[in-house]
Amino acid sequence: MTRMLLSRETLGYGATAVLTGVSFALAPGERVVLLGRSGAGKSTLLNAVYGRLAAQGKRVALVPQDHALVPQLSVLRNALMGRLDDHGALYNLTNLIRPRQADRAGVLAILQDLGLAPEIDRAVEALSGGQKQRTALARAFWRGGEVLVADEPVSAVDETQGAALLARIAARFDRSVVALHDVGQALGFATRLVGLRGGAVAFDAAPEQVAPAEIEALYA
Ligand SMILES: Nc1ncnc2c1ncn2[C@@H]1O[C@H](COP(=O)(O)OP(=O)(O)OP(=O)(O)O)[C@@H](O)[C@H]1O
């Protein structure tokens, strides 16, 4: 049985509730897309789901909305940070100073998959927005695990590239929970859509069970 991650909970900040009555579970093979206008609570729900999965001991890869990259460091070194908690401090320190060949080769294969291989040794601060976003995805892919939690992970790339990246996500992670603002991309990727509106979950169902009008109402 799939364990509930959230059960009729209120999520928010301090005394301010953002979402109330939220229940959420994540079954094997599910790709959940969160939809809703800006400020609806997508990041809030993602953060709560991430926290609960981690508390259950699941290996979760995270792509935060602001990417949380170290600008002065190279794409390679930022990607390597996806596995910092697999190793001790000495390994991490020496690997950041002089990355081990096997780790470099592993990251390079991921960067090739993401069309970012030529940038491997460039500092992140010198990259375009889309390249930075793909670096954050590379760090998540290098981390790997059962679940990806990602906040607008393809917002800075064009539609075609975004669809290709979402296909890579689907291939690499058994389960994912992703906030997207492009409804077309969401429909192409999701096995389940969660719509947020008015401080609550407006729908949580397979895409074919959600009427276009219900999706439009999220943004009205
Ligand atoms: N750290 C925080 N402290 C207090 N309030 C916050 C914090 N983060 C978000 N909020 C508030 O919570 C509400 C939901 O924000 P959230 O970031 O979850 O929305 P979102 O749907 O992800 O929006 P966007 O699409 O713009 O990223 C907003 O009103 C926001 O101002």
Q: What's the pLDDT at 82?
A: 94
With a CB cutoff of 8 Å and minimum separation 6, the contacts of 204 are 24, 192, 193, 194, 195
**How much distance in Å is there from the Cα of 146 to the middle of ligand 1?**
26
C-beta of 40 in contact with ligand 1 (< 6 A) = yes
Residue with tokens 């008015």: 198
Q: What's the pLDDT at 117?
A: 97
pLDDT digits (tens, 9 = 90+) for 161-181: 999 999 999 999 999 999 999
Q: Which of 67, 80, 58, 23 is nearest to 175 (CA)?
A: 58
C-beta of 195 in contact with ligand 1 (< 6 A) = no
**How much distance in Å is there from the Cα of 218 to the middle of ligand 1?**
16
Q: What's the pLDDT at 1?
A: 62
The number of beta carbons lying within 10 Å of the beta carbon of residue 181 is 15
Q: Which domain holds residue 134?
A: 69-144
C-beta of 38 in contact with ligand 1 (< 6 A) = yes
Nearest CA to ligand 1 atom 6: 13
Q: What's the pLDDT at 95?
A: 83
Question: C-alpha angle 60/164/68, rounded to 5°?
Answer: 40
- To test the pocket of ligand 1, the residue of 13, 34, 155 to mutate (highest count of ligand atoms within 8 Å of its CB) is 13
With 70 as the cut, is the pLDDT of residue 91 above it?
yes
Asked whether the CA dihedral 43, 49, 54, 59 is positive or negative, the reply is: negative
103, 199: one domain: no
44 CA: nearest ligand 1 atom: 18
C-beta of 18 in contact with ligand 1 (< 6 A) = yes
Q: What's the pLDDT at 154?
A: 95
74, 117: one domain: yes
Displacement of CA 32 from its chain's centroid (Å): 11
CA distance 202 to 185: 20
Give me the chain's average pLDDT, please.
95
88, 35: one domain: no
64 inside domain: no
pLDDT digits (tens, 9 = 90+) for 94-128: 888 888 899 999 999 999 999 999 999 999 999 99
**Dihedral in degrees, nearest 10, Cα atoms 145, 149, 155, 160:** 50
With 90 as the cut, is the pLDDT of residue 3 above it?
no
Q: Are 147 and 89 in contact (CB under 8 A)?
A: no
C-beta of 44 in contact with ligand 1 (< 6 A) = yes
CA distance 187 to 112: 26
CA distance 20 to 7: 10
pLDDT digits (tens, 9 = 90+) for 179-212: 999 999 999 999 999 999 999 999 999 999 999 9
Q: Total structural domains in the chain?
A: 2
Domain boundary among 144, 170, 204: 144
Domain containing residue 9: CATH number: 3.40.50.300
